[in-house]
Amino acid sequence: MSTNESPEQTHVVVLHSARPLEVDPSDTYPEHRITVLTDGPPVEVAKDLERPDTVSMPRSEWHDQLVRWARGGPIEVVTFDEDCALICTELRATLGLDEGAPT
């Protein structure tokens, strides 16, 4: 999976915690830069998929990291992990992102 970086390109950040990804985020968001933000070990992010760009840090630091990325251009925050559904909703709200976007 490759991530092409461009200022006009939306940076899709996939929040992750416990469940390995079963869907390749680049299939869901083919035209966007993808980064997985996890509070677990990066090697646990994808089971049978090529591991996407991954940043591992405590959840308490996620908001500040997302703000830094948002300064660089459009950002979208999503999750495929039930353990991250609530924090995804909260972070989207604090970043001013639409409520209706997929989580």
Token pair of 15 as six digits? 């929040």
pLDDT at 92 over 70: yes
> What pLDDT is stored for residue 6 in this prediction?
58
* Nearest alpha-carbon partner for 39 in 18, 61, 56: 56
- Rounded Cα distance between 33 and 75, Å, is 9
Beta bridge partners of 14: 36, 78
- Indicate the pTM of the whole model: 0.86
pLDDT, position 19: 83
What three-state secondary structure class fits 56?
A: strand
Confidence of residue 60 (pLDDT cuts 50, 70, 90): very high
For the chain, state the CA radius of gyration: 12
